[in-house]
């Protein structure tokens, strides 16, 4: 029996545990929160990620460790890696935790990124805005997610307020990218170095949080193959093992810029639970425990709708025979991801018809109409 330890006990760990059960895997989680939703399916050690005694106990109870949370201190990941196999490796995790290092590596690997500059002081911010121009986005280098730790600057008047809000931590200033759409590559690499990517996914955000995904993303300009090649280069360079996501800004004409890498299963890969031959959670576990990877082929076009703040009635989704409901077992709270639905279509037209019905039924036009526009 293989025991997998997961640092972080949120919905990603929960869905890993569910996907790992048929593989005969057992799970332990370590999370500081007493109501971690993965603990409904796996025994939890309640402790801070920096608690050496707890990490030691955790290491003794599992055969391999992985993450549902990318901001586990790299030092803790290294501590564990001295005791047991840890995937992705702590170096890859550390790289993805720092936007400056990450973008620097993307550039070294020949990938386009927004213009960027490191910023530590107000004067550096002034100089950086002079070079990069407005609009631009100031971000904390570390610990940002779902649009948190970001400030958009439209003119010189925004420099001081932006720095007052974020200047307590090392920062990166990025040019604002006037992208046509956002897409992501969700991919997996095995311990043996085999690389597979799921079909390209198109994503929509609301208030910095993923709102909907469509797979496969329409790709009239042949962006997917270039994006997969970039993801593969990156995975090999980092000797990455497991699932990761590469978030891209599509500029049109088959050109794209890389925004960031998520070193874990990713919200924009949730559609794979019903829309692909093997879901991201199962393939992440296969990679981590050293099993052969499953096919990432598309089964049918799928739309993922995120439930942020509250859940609609399950029946609204389940009434449709290709509708799948995922409840994370969390207490609803504003801005919190509490679940998602995967809506699968036999055809694009059927998918669009169903989304039209759902937009009315759920009164969620703002969330669903942008997806419908692409499908119709």
CA neighbours closer than 13 Å in the CB half-sphere of residue 359 = 17
- The C-alpha atoms of residue 349 and residue 77 are separated, in whole angstroms, by 46
- Residues 114 and 150: their CA atoms lie apart, in Å, by 15
Site for ligand AMP in 222-261 (CB under 6 A): 247, 259-260
Cis ω for the linkage preceding 135 (within 30 of 0): yes
Between the CA of residue 183 and those of 14, 136, 240, what are the distances in Å? 25, 20, 21
How wide is the angle at C-alpha 199 spanned by C-alphas 337 and 346, nearest 5°?
85
Q: Which is nearer to ligand AMP, 60 or 143 (CB)?
A: 143
Binding of ligand AMP by 205 (CB under 6 A): yes
Which residue in this structure is represented by tokens 């407005």?
134
Least distance CB 89 / ligand AMP (angstroms): 23
Binding of ligand AMP by 102 (CB under 6 A)? no
Does 376 engage in binding with ligand AMP (CB under 6 A)?
Answer: no
Is the bond preceding residue 183 a cis peptide, omega within 30 degrees?
Answer: no
Strands (E), the chain: 3-7, 26-31, 44-46, 64-67, 116-119, 136-140, 150-153, 171-175, 181-189, 195-197, 201-206, 209-215, 242-252, 255-262, 302-308, 323-327, 337-344
Kindly state the smallest distance separating residue 311's Cβ from ligand AMP, in Å: 24
The partner residues of 276 in beta bridges, in order of sequence, read 298
Interface with ligand AMP (CB under 6 A), residue from 85, 208, 290, 370 = 208
d(CA 336, CA 339): 9
- 46 or 209, CB closer to ligand AMP? 209
Stretch that binds ligand AMP, among 74-82, 125-133, 171-179, 265-273 (CB under 6 A): 171-179
Is residue 31 involved in binding ligand AMP (CB under 6 A)? no
Please pick, from the candidates 62, 117, 137, 138, the single residue that binds ligand AMP as defined by CB under 6 A: 137
Stretch that binds ligand AMP, among 100-108, 174-182, 340-348, 352-360 (CB under 6 A): 174-182
Q: Which is nearer to ligand AMP, 70 or 247 (CB)?
A: 247
Q: Which CB, 205 or 314, lies closer to ligand AMP?
A: 205
- 107 is an interface residue for ligand AMP by CB under 6 A: no
Burial 132-151 (b: 16+ CB within 10 A, else e): beeebbbbbbbebeeeebbb
Angle between helices 11-20 and 280-289 (to 10 degrees): 70
Nearer to ligand AMP, 155 or 331 (CB): 155
- Report if residue 195 touches ligand AMP, rule: CB under 6 A: no
Task: Based on the shown chain and the rule CB under 6 A, indicate whether residue 174 belongs to the binding site for ligand AMP.
Answer: yes
Residue number of the CB atom closest to ligand AMP = 177
Q: Is 114 or 125 the residue whose CB approaches ligand AMP more closely? A: 114
State the Cα–Cα distance between residues 296 and 279, nearest whole angstrom: 7
**Is 186 strand, coil or helix?**
strand
User: 257 to 296, contacts with ligand AMP by CB under 6 A?
Assistant: 259-260
Partner residues linked to 6 by β-bridges: 29, 66
Q: Which of 132, 177, 224, 344 binds ligand AMP (CB under 6 A)?
A: 177
Q: How far is the CB of 256 from ligand AMP (least distance, A)?
A: 13
Closer to ligand AMP by Cβ: residue 174 or 354: 174
88 versus 144: smaller Cβ distance to ligand AMP: 144
Q: CA–CA separation, 292 vs 258, rounded Å?
A: 29
173 binds ligand AMP (CB under 6 A): no
Give the residues lining the site for ligand AMP (CB under 6 A): 114, 137, 144, 147, 174, 176-177, 182, 205, 208, 247, 259-260
């Amino acid at each position: 029996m293989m025991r997998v330890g997961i640092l972080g006990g949120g919905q990603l760990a929960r869905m890993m545990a569910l996907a790992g059960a048929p593989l005969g895997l057992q799970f332990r989680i370590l999370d500081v929160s007493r109501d971690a939703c993965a603990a409904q399916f796996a025994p939890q050690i309640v402790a801070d990620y920096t608690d050496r005694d707890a990490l030691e106990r955790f290491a003794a109870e599992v055969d391999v460790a992985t993450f549902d949370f990318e901001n586990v201190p790299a030092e803790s990941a290294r501590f564990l890696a001295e005791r047991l196999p840890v995937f992705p490796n702590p170096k890859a995790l550390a790289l993805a935790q720092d936007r400056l290092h990450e973008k620097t590596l993307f550039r070294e690997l020949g990938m386009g990124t927004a213009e960027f500059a490191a910023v530590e002081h107000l004067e550096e911010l002034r100089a950086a805005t002079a070079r990069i121009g407005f609009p631009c986005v100031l971000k904390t280098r570390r610990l940002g997610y779902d649009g948190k730790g970001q400030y958009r600057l439209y003119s010189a008047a925004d420099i001081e307020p932006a720095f007052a809000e974020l200047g307590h931590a090392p920062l990166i200033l990025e040019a604002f990218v006037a992208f046509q759409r956002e897409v992501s590559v969700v991919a997996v690499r095995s311990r043996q170095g085999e690389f597979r990517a799921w079909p390209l996914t198109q994503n929509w955000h609301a208030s910095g949080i993923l709102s909907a995904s469509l797979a496969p993303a329409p790709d009239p300009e042949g962006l997917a193959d270039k994006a997969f090649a970039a993801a593969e280069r990156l995975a090999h360079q980092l000797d990455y093992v497991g699932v990761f996501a590469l978030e891209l800004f599509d500029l049109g004409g088959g050109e794209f810029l890389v925004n960031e890498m998520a070193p874990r299963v990713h919200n924009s890969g949730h559609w794979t639970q019903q829309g692909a031959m093997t879901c991201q959670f199962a393939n992440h576990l296969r990679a981590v425990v050293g099993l052969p990877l499953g096919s990432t082929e598309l089964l049918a076009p799928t739309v993922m709708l995120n439930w942020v703040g509250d859940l609609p009635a399950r029946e609204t989704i389940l009434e449709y025979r290709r509708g799948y409901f995922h409840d994370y077992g969390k207490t609803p709270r504003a801005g919190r991801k509490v679940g998602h639905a995967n809506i699968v279509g036999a055809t694009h037209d059927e998918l669009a018809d169903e989304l039209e019905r759902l937009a009315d039924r759920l009164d969620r036009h703002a969330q669903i109409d942008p997806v419908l526009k692409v499908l119709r």
